[in-house]
Amino acid sequence: MTLDPDRSPLARLRERLERAVRHPSSAVSRLSYARTSVAFGLVGEPSTVTALLDRNPPEIVADASAEVRIDLTREQLARFEVGELAMPQAVVTGAVAAHGPVRKYLEVDAILRGLLAACDGREPQDGHRSDPAAAGSIPFAEADADLMAIRTTGLRKAFGRNEILAGVDLAIPEGVISVILGPSGTGKSVMLQHIIGLMSPDAGDVLIRGRPLSRMSRSEVLALRREIGVMFQDGALFSAMNVYDNVAFPLRQHTDLNDREVREVVMDHLDAVGLATATHRMPNELSGGMRKRAGLARALALNPGILLCDEPDSGLDPVRTALLGDLLVEQHSQYGGTMVVVTHNVALAKRIADHMSVLWRGRVLEAGMASDVLASDSAFIQQFLAGGSVGPLGMDA
Ligand SMILES: Nc1ncnc2c1ncn2[C@@H]1O[C@H](COP(=O)(O)OP(=O)(O)OP(=O)(O)O)[C@@H](O)[C@H]1O
């Protein structure tokens, strides 16, 4: 694989959008995939944007370079500002105008589908309404079921008589930060190992971008792992290599970049995680937080479409956890993609999650946009969020 410097996430997005404009009938899947890099947004300087917002209904425009531009109505802008419609990045003819976390991106997708269908003069094939203003909120479960970054269907796993996963149906949307939250010992790490293909289920399946792991050959699973970066609890650094070589390792293994190009990518990532001056340190000379940040830089080195973070807060104090959470959000807004964070840390989950799945007793108890899950009236969720000792969750439950 060659990493073409011209093929930045933005360049790749542009390509996909161009294809989507040329072939609107395939726009839904292409745009859904495009969400993994960056997506949608306001166009132009704030004053231009305001002028554009006066147009009603919103419109989609292919400019000279076939860039897709999306103008929002005033009503949509208001929701954008209060965070309901925040989008990862806005594109101005190839330049990033603004960025922030995705919140209700599925609503945005409904709008996009409508816009594209309107642009093509046809109704979208999946029956979604073409009037973007009327698209409104669509229930999470109905949206893009086949276009989730990760899905598990009826996943079961037992160790002896100890059933850990009892039919887990998980759906992780593309392009956002998803937190898998649950009490200790509930099987979060076991789930993660199934997703990477390191553990096989007793029943059920894992689908990565629609591709079932059960039907993949070993070489396909290995290739898939290159699309998935993993940040392990302790960083999982090679103890005999310094920080620089640890981050360079996947690039040397899986790309044909020359030394200068490797250096550029490595230093870019180390700089982003605040370790640019620690290149020569060995893992045992790093603090726990530094090891995690080095692990994050390594996990991102190949620019994976999906990043899995296993308990990134383990062993960190609350302040370091908050700082690491902010770093994850920052990295996500910079690189895009789907980020999955497994944790039992409620404060971290609240800080970073766009989407949340709560695991309990081997199943997904509740899942959806983080704000909805946090407002759940489930007794278990309320107890877990509050850290209370009274409720359905006991020592062994
Ligand atoms: N390879 C294994 N063999 C036997 N039991 C295992 C194995 N891996 C995990 N388990 C058991 O599965 C259960 C769930 O473990 P897991 O590490 O997934 O929990 P978790 O939700 O990640 O917990 P925590 O938040 O404390 O890390 C535990 O009881 C653990 O002992």
SS (H, E, C) 256-268: CCCHHHHHHHHHH
State if residue 344 touches ligand 1 by the CB under 6 angstroms criterion: yes
Q: CB of 58 closer than 6 A to ligand 1?
A: no
Q: Residues of 57-81 as b/e, b for ≥16 C-beta within 10 angstroms?
A: ebebeeeeeebbbbbbbeebbebbe
CA distance 141 to 154: 16
**Strand ranges in the chain using DSSP code E only, listed in sequence order:** 60-62, 68-70, 89-92, 95-99, 150-159, 162-172, 177-181, 203-208, 211-212, 228-231, 306-310, 338-343, 355-360, 363-369
Nearest residue to 237 (alpha-carbon basis) of 328, 301, 317:
301
Residue 186: CB within 6 Å of ligand 1?
A: yes
Q: How far is the CA of 238 from the centre of ligand 1 (A)?
A: 24
**Residue 33 has what DSSP assignment?**
H
> From atom 25 of ligand 1, which residue's Cα is the shortest distance away?
184
- CA 183 to chain centroid, in Å, comes to 22
Q: What spacing in Å lies between the alpha carbon of 179 and ligand 1's midpoint?
A: 18
What is the residue with the minimal CA distance to atom 3 of ligand 1? 159
190 lines ligand 1 (CB under 6 A): yes
Per-domain boundaries in the chain? 9-142, 148-386
Token couple for 386: 């509050």
Residue 327 pLDDT = 87
**Separation of 185 CA from ligand 1 center, angstroms?**
5
| Residue closest by Cα to atom 2 of ligand 1 | 159
pLDDT score recorded for residue 242: 95
With a 6 A CB cut-off, is 164 part of the ligand 1 pocket?
A: yes
Low-confidence ranges of the chain (pLDDT < 50): 1-72, 80-146
C-beta of residue 301 within 8 angstroms of C-beta of residue 243: no
Cα angle: 69, vertex 71, 74; to 5 degrees? 165
| pLDDT for res 78 | 53
Ligand 1: does its nearest atom lie under 6 Å from the Cβ of 159? yes
Q: Measured in angstroms, how far is the CA atom of residue 13 from the centroid of ligand 1?
A: 38
Atom of ligand 1 nearest to the CA of 192: 18
Q: Which residue, by CA, sits nearest to atom 20 of ligand 1? A: 185
CA of 342, closest atom in ligand 1? 22
pTM: 0.68
Residue 188 beta carbon below 6 angstroms from any ligand 1 atom: yes
Q: Is the CB of 239 under 6 A from ligand 1?
A: no
Q: Judge contact between 207 and 67, C-beta under 8 A.
A: no
Is the beta carbon of 161 within 6 A of some atom in ligand 1? no
Pocket test residue of 155, 165, 189, 191 for ligand 1, highest count of atoms within 8 A of CB = 189
CB of 396 sitting under 6 A from ligand 1: no
Is residue 185 in contact with ligand 1, taking CB distance under 6 Å?
yes
- Calculate how far, in angstroms, residue 355's C-alpha sits from the geometric centre of ligand 1: 23
At the second CATH level, the architecture of 148-386 is: 3-Layer(aba) Sandwich (3.40)
Testing ligand 1's pocket by substitution, the residue of 164, 193, 234 carrying the most ligand atoms inside 8 A of its CB is 164
